[in-house]
């Protein structure tokens, strides 16, 4: 009977994948498969208990045995995390999460002296989420694709706290967010050595079964200052040279939002990275706020003075998503472009006045929006999203009387279903992970040009004419930006374990991290003046254990 049930489960799962696997979200397909497996087990069990001619004692013994196994499994195991396609990872219930096992001892000796190194911005910096222009692209022309003859070289690797934050850099300094036990930290490491330079901690912890542990936004660096937003709403402005906090705010307290209400409405933690202008720090707002009227219980964006932290303005009345605000120009007008929970809009950066918006359906506790809106021409906005939504292009225009309007140019639910990731735009094509498969789509009309290569819910970074794809498994793959097919050229295992974090490339150093490891790899470049080489350290490649933080926590 067991063999027959397992065979039936396998056949049905295969049929589901073949029939609807390409038409629906992979996670939904897995849920349906799980339901089918459950029904395949329940049906013969119910037949045995209710319809078979076996003795009552045999039926009771079987029922007790099944219930005992279920109870024992629930007592012994728990779900530590799930993959991007909702495949669970089980661990013993009494086991601690990896971040809770990291010690809090001392930093690597001698790192205090490294702060004399300059925090002055340079052209090779990767100063925030998705890079210098927030477009997951670097126009470096001389990446050497011959990884067989010139393979990437590991410089260092060590443990890191949990979280899905990426890395931002300035000079030799790399900044990220991580969770270690009950502390959420902003941490700064040397790119050359991997040594911890400073950290700033808050006593807070975000964890959900589906979203995992820890912070998920990326710090922004500007003029030697680090700005970061934690998963539970802490906003910090930190002096990069010494790790001293200049000012901090708790966004939920500023808005009067109850944390329990926030946890329900924005179920997977705040993921929006700060937008930093010459005078402001603009971050997603949220809600519901108990002290506001029914019509304005939500705040889409909130702006703080960059120097003092004083509030400048609030904007919008829509719930936030997991996207980040960006500064763009549309119709010749500078504006803040932001994907809210169920709309996309443009806001005046001076006072937060909403210029325009149009529907982009979603819910921040179910079919959430994570991908960035991208400007592809002076009047056009490109959007993509997972959960079966796909991609679209909208025309955004301002009339002579100052009124704004937005009209859909094309919309295709079958392409570029970017669940946790973002597209790369290059030579009239968009490249992205669509439900975990790399896909190339023509921007002008949404036509799919090719689809191939299963990477899971990873991330993509364009470097010149090449794509660096980090798979959910932690493998980095070099792929051509060809519009004629999926053409991988090289690969290496950068980190181990589930990887949803974006890549960071500064000079020829590729920084890769996930919820347990961070590594620095040297990529091969042909000789070029547009590639800055971070000074190397005369040490062999390192694989160290925990980097520790006691004594460096500034709050």
pLDDT digits (tens, 9 = 90+) for 500-534: 999 999 999 999 999 999 999 999 998 755 566 56
pLDDT in tens, 16-25: 555 544 556 6
Q: Which positions ≥6 away from 540 have C-beta within 8 Å?
A: none
Identify which has the larger pLDDT, 54 or 417.
417
Residue 547 has pLDDT above 80, yes or no: no
Residue 542 pLDDT grade (very low, low, confident, very high; cuts 50, 70, 90):
low
The partner residues of 458 in beta bridges, in order of sequence, read: none
Query: Tokens 């470097």 belong to which residue?
Result: 463
Q: What is the H or E stretch that residue 71 is in?
A: helix 56-76
Q: What is the pLDDT of residues 441-487, one digit of tens each?
A: 999 999 999 999 999 999 999 999 999 999 999 999 999 999 999 99
Asked if the model's pLDDT at residue 494 lies above 50, the reply is yes
Supply the mean pLDDT for the chain: 88
Residues contacting residue 49 through CB under 8 Å, at least 6 positions apart: 59, 62, 63
Query: Which pLDDT does position 552 carry in this prediction?
Result: 44
The three-class DSSP label of residue 265 is helix
Mean pLDDT for 314-338 is 96
Question: CB-side exposure of 350: number of CA atoms within 13 Å?
Answer: 3
Mean pLDDT of 19-44: 70
Confidence of residue 115 (pLDDT cuts 50, 70, 90): low
Phi, psi of 38 (to 5 degrees): -60, -45
Specify the DSSP class assigned to residue 273.
P
CB 455 within 8 A of CB 467: no
If you count DSSP H runs as helices and E runs as strands, how many of each does the chain have, helices first? 5, 38
Q: How confident is the model at residue 421 (pLDDT cuts 50, 70, 90)?
A: very high
Residue % of the chain over a pLDDT of 70: 85
Is residue 97 classed exposed, middle or buried when 0-12, 13-18 and 19+ CB atoms within 10 A define those classes?
Answer: buried
Q: Of residues 58 and 252, which shows the higher confidence score?
A: 252
Q: In this structure, are residues 358 and 314 in contact, taking their beta carbons and an 8 Å threshold?
A: no
80-89, 192-201, 315-324 — which is least confidently predicted? 80-89
* pLDDT of 53 over the 70 cut: yes
Give 43's pLDDT tier (boundaries 50, 70, 90): confident
Residue 104 clears pLDDT 70, i.e. is over it: no
Angle, alpha carbons 236-242-245 (nearest 5°): 25
Confidence of residue 549 (pLDDT cuts 50, 70, 90): very low
The Cα 352–Cα 338 span in angstroms is 12
Mean pLDDT calculated for residue range 408-422: 96
Residue 555: pLDDT band by 50, 70, 90 thresholds? very low
In this predicted structure, what is the pLDDT of residue 87? 79
On the question of pLDDT at 106 being above 50, the answer is no
39: pLDDT confidence band, cut at 50, 70 and 90?
confident
Backbone angles phi, psi at 218, to 5 degrees: -115, 135
HEC profile of 72-111: HHHHHEEEEEECCCCCEEEEECCCCCHHHHCCCCCCCCCH
- Per-residue pLDDT reduced to its tens digit, 388-405: 999 999 999 898 888 999
Helix, strand, coil share (%) of the chain residues, nearest 5? 15, 40, 45
pLDDT band at residue 120 under the 50/70/90 scheme = confident
> What's the CA angle centered on 245, arms 118 and 127, to 5 degrees?
45
CB 224 within 8 A of CB 238: no
Cβ-count burial of 243 within 10 angstroms (0-12 exposed, 13-18 middle, 19+ buried)? buried
Which residues, 6+ apart, have CB-to-CB distance to 378 below 8 Å? 329, 330, 331, 332
Q: What's the average model confidence in pLDDT over 119-139?
A: 94
Given this model, what pLDDT does residue 16 score?
Answer: 53
Residue 540 pLDDT > 90, yes or no?
A: no
Distance of CA 385 to the CA centre of its chain: 13
For the chain, what's the residue count?
555
- What pLDDT is attached to residue 121? 85
pLDDT of residue 224: 95
Instruction: Kindly tell me if the per-residue pLDDT of 536 is higher than 70.
Output: no
List domains and CATH numbers for the chain.
Answer: 2-92 (no CATH), 98-106+128-544 (2.130.10.10)
**H-run or E-run covering 263:** helix 259-265
Instruction: Kindly tell me the burial class for residue 36, based on how many C-beta atoms sit within 10 Å of its own C-beta (0-12, 13-18, 19 or more).
Output: middle
């Amino acid at each position: 009977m067991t063999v027959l049930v397992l065979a039936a489960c396998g056949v049905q799962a295969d049929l589901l994948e073949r029939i609807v696997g390409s038409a629906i979200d992979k996670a939904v397909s897995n849920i349906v498969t799980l339901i089918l497996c459950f029904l395949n087990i329940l049906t013969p069990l119910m037949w045995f208990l209710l319809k078979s001619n076996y003795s009552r004692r045999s039926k009771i013994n079987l029922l007790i045995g099944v219930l005992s196994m279920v109870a024992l499994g629930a007592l012994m195991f728990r779900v530590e995390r799930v993959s991007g396609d909702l495949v669970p990872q089980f661990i013993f219930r009494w086991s601690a999460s990896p971040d809770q096992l990291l010690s809090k001892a001392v930093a690597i000796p001698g790192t205090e002296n490294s702060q004399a190194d300059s925090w002055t911005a340079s052209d090779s910096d990767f100063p925030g989420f998705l890079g210098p222009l927030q477009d997951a692209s670097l126009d470096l022309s001389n990446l050497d694709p011959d990884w067989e003859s010139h393979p990437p070289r590991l410089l260092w690797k060590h443990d890191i706290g949990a979280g899905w934050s990426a890395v931002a850099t300035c000079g030799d300094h790399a900044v990220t967010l991580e969770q270690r036990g009950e502390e959420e930290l902003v941490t700064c490491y040397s790119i050359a050595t991997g040594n911890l330079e400073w950290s700033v901690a808050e006593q807070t912890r975000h964890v959900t079964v589906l979203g995992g542990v820890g912070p998920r936004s990326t710090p922004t660096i500007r003029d030697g200052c680090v700005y970061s937003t934690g998963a539970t709403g802490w906003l910090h402005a930190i002096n990069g040279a010494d790790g001293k906090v200049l000012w901090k705010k708790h966004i939920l307290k500023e808005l009067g939002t109850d944390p329990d209400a926030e946890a329900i409405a924005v179920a997977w933690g705040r993921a929006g990275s700060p937008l930093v202008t010459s005078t402001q720090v603009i971050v997603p707002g949220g809600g519901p706020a108990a002290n506001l009227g029914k019509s304005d219980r939500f705040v889409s964006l909130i702006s703080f003075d960059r120097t003092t932290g004083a509030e400048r303005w609030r904007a919008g009345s829509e719930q936030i998503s997991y996207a980040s605000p960006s500064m763009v120009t549309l119709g010749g007008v500078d504006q803040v472009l932001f994907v809210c929970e169920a709309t996309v809009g443009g806001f005046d950066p001076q006072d937060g006045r909403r210029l325009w918006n149009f529907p982009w359906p979603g819910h921040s506790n179910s079919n959430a929006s994570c991908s960035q809106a991208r400007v592809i021409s002076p009047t056009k906005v490109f959007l993509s999203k997972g959960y079966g939504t796909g991609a679209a292009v909208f025309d955004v225009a301002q009339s002579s009387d100052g009124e704004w309007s937005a009209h859909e140019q094309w919309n295709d639910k079958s392409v570029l279903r970017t669940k946790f990731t973002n597209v790369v735009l290059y030579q009239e094509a968009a490249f992205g992970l669509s439900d975990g498969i790399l896909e190339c789509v023509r921007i002008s009309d949404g036509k799919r040009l090719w689809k191939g290569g299963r990477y899971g819910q990873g991330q993509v970074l364009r470097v010149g004419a090449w794509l660096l794809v980090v798979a959910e498994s932690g493998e980095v793959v070099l792929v051509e930006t060809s519009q004629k097919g999926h053409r991988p050229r090289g690969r290496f295992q950068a980190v181990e374990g589930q990887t949803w974090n974006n890549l960071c490339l500064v000079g020829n150093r590729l920084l890769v991290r996930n919820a347990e490891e961070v590594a620095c790899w040297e990529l091969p470049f042909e000789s070029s003046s547009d590639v800055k080489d971070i000074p190397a350290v005369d040490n062999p490649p390192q694989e160290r254990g925990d980097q520790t933080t006691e004594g460096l926590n500034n709050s």
